[in-house]
Amino acid sequence: MTHSFNRATTIAALDIGSSKVCCVIAKMSRDRKINIAGYGYNASKGIKNGVITDINQATLSVCNAVETAEQMANERIDRVIVNISGEKTKSVIKESSIALNKNRPVNENDLMKVVEKGIHKINVEGCELVHCLSTNYRLDGGEEIKDPRNIFGETLSVDILLGLVPDIAYRNVATVIENAHLEIAGKTFSSYASGLSCLVDDERELGATVVDMGGGTTSIASFKHGYPVYFGAIPVGGNNVTNDIAYGLTTSFSHAERLKTLHGCAFLTSQDNLETINVYPVGEEDDSSIKQIPRADLISIITPRIEETFEMVNRKLAEVGLHNVSSHRVVLTGGASQLPGVREIASMVLDKQVRLGRPKNILNLPDELYGPAFSTCIGMLLFVLNSPERKPGKIVNKPAAAGSGVGAQIASWLRILFS
């Protein structure tokens, strides 16, 4: 779907994460350029592993981030694009096919017809539909074709990628947004947004997977031929590393986070046995109680967790046939990806070319936002420009085997955002 902008439009993106809540306010000009007007972020509370665990604390975290962004932008907002994350996010491929007129090539009406047939009635089975993306076309059951127009064939098929999250999880997010006196103008998976901000065109075309390493969840989005083809997540993130350090060294969570930030690394070198670091035992903060340990002890706690994380990612990619595709590369982003050595461990475990990704597809980005921790929030702004989603004709929320159910309608976020 192509958007037309007749005037400057204010867009607000709200990234609700397990480690931080971030709000970015931007202006979109007539020539489709995004300019950052204000931003704010703070440590998140009431959110664990991408799931709301305390409505009041999460609401306060959202309000603080939004207020800071509003003050910088000198503008009040009432609608936001919000990210959806958590280990239970998933994707399903739905195929749609139509017969073609063999006496003429495929035209635009054929493309619309096959997509409309696929999205006419979608059964979400107790989930909220976050994404509905037509991806790759096929003629006569052959190879994937990005644009089949002007080609002759007998049948036209399209794969439609559905992004789903449990309805209960989405309701909790919606409640937090409502309690903060905001409306949800659009929603997107964290990993999809990060892919829009971090990947270059060639990566999306040739094949790449974004691994967004957050505090409580690692989100995954795979792209091919310019489209996302898979969404997934695992319930492991940077907070798990911090917890391992706290338990392993018997220190506080805050001190464990500091040790990870200042001295942490994902792989061991011979020099790490010679370097010592100071550790405060839990409950004792005076210098007389300091323990000195080799840095190697800290790294030996971190490494297994990082390896486990990418082994879990590897299993997810294997489930969708992307494990052994040599040309498929991996881009790491998110706050937890900044730990030294993570890229090397990822390359070794996944056996793929790996790079670190930062938000790069918006010009004049403030230096403070030019980091992996802000990839999702920046990507949500790009989501407004790049979303090719179409509104389903009908959404059914019932088990697939049930004989009847209750129909529900999904509102178009573009209608809300640009009305």
Pairing type for strands 155-166 and 90-99 reads: antiparallel
Q: Are residues 210 and 195 in the same domain?
A: no
Residue 288 and residue 210 in one domain? yes
In a domain, 104, yes or no: no
Whether residues 302 and 390 share a domain: the answer is no
pTM above 0.75, yes or no: yes
Residue 388 and residue 272 in one domain = no
260: tokens are 């990870």
Which distant-in-sequence residues (6+ apart) come within 8 Å of 195 by Cβ? 204, 208, 210, 221, 223, 228, 331, 379
Residues 6+ apart with CB under 8 A from 379: 188, 192, 193, 194, 195, 196, 197, 198, 359
Choosing from 309, 333, 359, the residue where a domain stops is: 359
CATH number at residue 1: 3.30.420.40
CA angle 394, 396, 397 (to 5 degrees): 145
Contact (CB, 8 A) for 16 and 176: yes
Q: What is the pLDDT of residue 8?
A: 52
Q: In terms of domains, do 237 and 287 share one? A: yes
How many distinct structural domains can be found in the chain? 2
Whether 297 and 352 map to the same domain: the answer is yes
Q: Rounded to whole angstroms, how far apart are CA atoms 377 and 82?
A: 9
**Residue 173 and residue 241 in one domain:** no
Q: Which residues contact 116 (CB under 8 A, 6 or more apart)?
A: 390, 393
**Do 193 and 327 lie in a common domain?**
no
**Ranges of the chain whose pLDDT falls below 70:** 1-8, 285-288, 387-388, 390-391, 393-394, 397-419
Domain with 289 in it: 201-359
Residues 168 and 24 reside in one and the same domain: yes
Same domain, 341 and 382: no
Q: Specify whether 252 is located in the same domain as 369.
A: no
Find out whether 310 and 349 touch, Cβ atoms under 8 Å: yes
**Domain end call among 359, 390, 405:** 359
Strand partners, 47: 52
Best CA proximity match to 298, nearest among 269, 328, 277 = 277
Task: Let me know if residue 329 belongs to a domain.
Answer: yes
